[in-house]
Structure 1
Amino acid sequence: MRYDLKVPFAEKDQAKKLGARWDAARKRWYIDEGLDPADFARWQPAPHDASSAAVSAPASRRAAPAGSEGTVQVGSRFVELPRMCDCLPWEDCDACRLQAWPK
């Protein structure tokens, strides 16, 4: 299991000597299972801190609210535009382009 740490820049060398590693993608220090978390107690994040979770799932993997599977959610200002043809909305269709942008 991975434990994220909150190491100030001035103390990074001390954490590195104890075995902490730098995660460049997440921009934070962490330790793996093989190390004793007690040695890194002073760098443990506070419980209310956003970085306190050991490894949180990315937003794209989080579970959707119950009952929202397969439904499309639209805002109160959503306006459905009429379709020009049967092409996909993100394709560059000549027929739609000519009808949408008359010269």
Structure 2
Amino acid sequence: MRLNLKVPFAEKDEAKKLGARWDAGRKVWYVEGKEDLAPFARWSPTPLDASAAEAPAPKRAAARHVDSSGKAYVGRNYVAHPRVCDCPPWEVCDKCLATALKN
């Protein structure tokens, strides 16, 4: 079982000596697989603390798509529009001029 800890920066070396590990993705100290959690009791989060539950992995920003109407489609609402021509997206040819975004 994993237990996230609230370790102040000044006490990180002490926690590391006792066996705590740093999760860089979640930016939290934790212990896992320890039978005796007594040495870590002072860093144990309170039940009302946000870090008491296992911290979720950081979320990445959703990709946004903007069509010519200016409406952004995000996540499951994303709709892929068929290509009008084979020109690169940064160039506007005569075929795709009608669907190109206006500056």
TM-score bracket for this pair, using the shorter chain length = 0.5 to 0.7
How many residues are paired up? Answer: 74
User: Secondary structure of 1:3's partner?
Assistant: strand
Structure 1, unmatched stretches of 5+, are: 60-80, 82-86
- Kindly indicate whether the alpha-carbon contact (under 8 Å) linking 2:6 and 2:29 is maintained by their aligned counterparts in 1: yes
Q: What residue in structure 1 maps to residue 80 of structure 2?
A: 88
Question: Which whole-Å CA distance do the structure 2 matches of 1:8 and 1:98 have between them?
Answer: 57
Deviations 1:13-58 (A, max 9, x none): 1111111011111111000023422220100112111111135577
Percent identical pairs in the alignment equals: 54
TM-score between the two structures when normalised by the length of structure 1: 0.57
TM-score between the two structures when normalised by the length of structure 2: 0.57
**1:88 to partner: Cα distance:** 3.2
- RMSD across aligned positions (CA): 2.8
User: Which amino acid in the other structure matches residue 37 of structure 1?
Assistant: L
- Kindly indicate whether the alpha-carbon contact (under 8 Å) linking 1:23 and 1:30 is maintained by their aligned counterparts in 2: yes
- Within 5 Å, give how 1:1-103 maps onto structure 2: 1-54=1-54, 56=56, 88-89=80-81, 92-94=83-85, 95=95, 97-101=96-100
Structure 2, unmatched stretches of 5+, are: 60-68, 70-78, 86-94
**Judging changes above 3 Å, is the alpha-carbon distance between structure 1 residues 50 and 92 closer, same or farther for their aligned structure 2 residues?**
farther
- Kindly indicate whether the alpha-carbon contact (under 8 Å) linking 1:46 and 1:52 is maintained by their aligned counterparts in 2: yes
User: Which amino acid in the other structure matches residue 38 of structure 2?
Assistant: A
Larger RCO: 1 or 2 (CA < 8 Å, sep 6+): 1
- Kindly indicate whether the alpha-carbon contact (under 8 Å) linking 1:6 and 1:28 is maintained by their aligned counterparts in 2: yes
More strand by share: 2
